[in-house]
Structures are given as C-alpha cells and as structure tokens.
Amino acid sequence: MLLTKGYRAFSLAMTVIMIGPCFYCGAALATNTEQTEVVYNLYFGDLHSHTSYSDGTGMPDDAYAMAKASGADFLAITDHYFPLTDVEWQAMLESANANTVDGEFVAMAAYEYYLPGINELNIYGSENLAPQSGLTPEAYYQGDRMTGGSYIPWIYDWIAQESGAIGQWNHPSSYGCPLIWDFFQFGFHTEDRDTGMSMVECYNWGYRDSSYVKALDEGWHVMPTATEDDHYGDWISPLGIRTVLLAPSLTRDNLYEAMRVGRGYATLDENLEIRFNVNGAVMGSNLSDPGAASYTASLQVIDPDGIGDEITLIEIVADNNETVWSCAPSGASYVNPNVELSGDDVPRYFFVRVTTASPLNGDEPGLTAWTAPVWTGN
C-alpha cells in the first residue's frame, strides 16, 4: 500500500548505525539510543503573491480566502517592500494571523525586497521590515565580470542575523544582464549567509531551473520553489503551479522550518507527490558523510490524476546538472526503494527532476518538478 499523505524519517539525538534503507520508513536504523520517528506530510501552496498593498489587486483577506477555497494548504502574501507603509505591513500581519487555522490553512505575511538594478528577494518569517537598501551598488570587477555590490552581501547578512528570517531569490535571470546576471552568479556565499538564504524560484512565469543548479553549484543549500507571482487577484489559479513543503503537521512554525532547512519541492502539477530519500535522509537533509563509496536512494512519484498525466521521465541529478540515474515510467506512479548511486565522482548533492505528459498546457511533455537535494557532505 502506498503512502499518499506522508512518509517517515528518523531524527536521532546521538550517532546511529545505518543497517539498510527502507522506503516507507525513510530508514531502518539500529542504535542503543532513543530514536524519534518523524512523519512528513506534503503541503501544497504558493510562496509569492501580491495584493493592492503593492501592485496587485484585492486585499490579503481576499487572497487567503480564495487560496483556501481552491484547496491550497498555505499562501504567502509577498507585497513589494518599497510602497508598503508601516500601517499596511501591520495589517498584513494581522490578516495572516486571522486567516491561519492550524491543521486547515496557513497564511503567511512576507515582503518582496528590491535590490535596485539587480533583482528582488522574498523575506519570510520576520515581523520586521529590512532597512532600506542603497540606490547605487558599489561594483567590483574581476576581469569584465561584476563580482560585488555593497548591499548584496549586506542583505544576506541581515537575513541571516534577523531572528526567524528566511530568504528566497525571486525570478532569477530576469534582470541585470549581462554583468550582474543571476544575483552576481549567486556569489558571496558564506556559511552564515547560507543559513538565511533557503530557497530559489525554479519556475516563475517561465523556467528558471538553470539558476537553481547554479546556486547549488555555488555552494548554497537551497530548495526550489514554483510560484505564480500573482498580481491579478487569481490566487492559486488552475494552472497548477505549486511549492510543496514537507512538515509533520500544518502549522506556520512547521512550514517555516521546512522552508528554512529547504525541505520541499517545486511542481507545475497541483497534486504531484514526490518522496525522495538518500541513505534514509529526506530531501533537504545533509548526510555529512564525505567520501562514501555509494548511496542508496528511495524514490516514489505519484500523480493521482492517472490517465493523461503520466510520468514520462524521472532523473536523479548531481553536481553541474549531470543526470546520474534515470528511468521512463509507463504510468502515473513509480516506486523504487533501492536506487544505487555511485560516489566515485564525489558528488555534493542529488536531487530529483520529473517530466510529465502535461505540465501546464496539457499538450506537450515537459519538465514538471524539481526536488530539494540531499547533500552528501562532500
């Protein structure tokens, strides 16, 4: 029997010995210490949308009500930072609190922060608005490539130091061509900044998955998101664009934690279910096991719609966008608890990429979903 609502992984207080993978449980572990089983459910929603508090339409209450009526588990309102007044920001926070019912629906208030001439970031999880950015970045060049700006590293530092804050790169590859393309090629990575920047849009009015891979290869531990970036009062539209967060229950704290650690996936199918573990560790985890000779992945992909929405290709992808394993299923579900992956090339991460028969328009096969990686520790 397939699990359709959640799957299990283990959180251990002390070092354990792994004796073998078990798909449904996430791992089979032997230890003399206490172990805690965690069941992760799949929660579908959108993390980027607007209202009339910036350049959208409608009010936050309208957005949350429509999203909930459309069957979403969560919605983040992310109105633009620069026109927001303090009164409007407080109203957004109050609306999010009023529309959140644990176990039923989570409403989030966030904001989209503008980096002049570069691009924008979403900032979640904090009730404080970030300070204003400067209007003129201080540029540094290495050859003909611009490699720095005075406030790009600064905003990463602010997010990392702000209690609860979670950062997302929005619509990468949209602005700044050619010199500051892709947020200066996702430079300025440090361990501290890595704790603040947790997500990157893999789909926003078009495919941006190459930027997701670029961020991973620059060392960022991030998950992909798919967002509608709605400005038209059509929150959680029938297009099916969703971000899926893996959490033990539907509360704002649990979803924020999933976002913070990068535990989730991006999909252009409103109900595509993906479960992906490596050596028993759920997507978004770090195995912290450098030098392993091999890895065992557990994989389950299900499209409940069945006929007409078949899964046509599943890939496991490693560093530099290299497909290290693939299969072409013949239906709407695929389960494999023992996918063997080599450690010969010292991979830093593995993630899953899914192609289906009907990603958005129902006619042509196309890339449909990307999961967060499992990092190896290499």
Per-residue pLDDT tens digits of the chain, which is 378 residues long: 233 345 555 333 322 323 233 333 333 333 344 557 789 999 999 999 999 999 999 999 999 999 999 999 999 999 999 889 999 999 999 999 999 999 999 999 999 998 877 889 999 999 999 988 654 445 455 554 445 555 578 889 899 999 999 999 999 988 766 666 788 889 889 999 999 999 999 999 999 999 999 999 999 999 999 999 999 999 998 889 999 999 999 999 999 999 999 999 999 999 999 999 999 999 999 999 999 999 999 999 999 987 778 899 999 999 999 999 999 998 999 999 999 999 999 999 999 999 998 766 555 668 999 999 999 999
In the numeric block, which tokens belong to residue 153? 């590293």
266-269-273 Cα angle (round to 5)? 70
The Cα–Cα gap between 224 and 244 comes to: 10
Residue where the block lists tokens 């595509």: 272
Instruction: Answer whether 363's CB lies under 8 Å from 215's CB.
Output: no
Identify any residues that bridge with 120 across adjacent strands, giving them in sequence order: 114
Residue where the block lists tokens 């530092």: 157
Residue where the block lists tokens 């500051």: 180
Query: Which domains does the chain carry?
Result: 6-33+272-375 (2.60.40), 42-256 (3.20.20.140)
Report which of 171, 151, 161, 98 is spatially closest to residue 125, judged by C-alpha positions: 161
Instruction: Answer whether 346's CB lies under 8 Å from 318's CB.
Output: no
What is the layout of strands, in order, in the sheet containing 333-342? 281-282, 273-278, 294-302, 333-342
DSSP state letters, 124-161: ES-SSPPPPPPSS---EEETTEEEE-SSHHHHHHHHHH
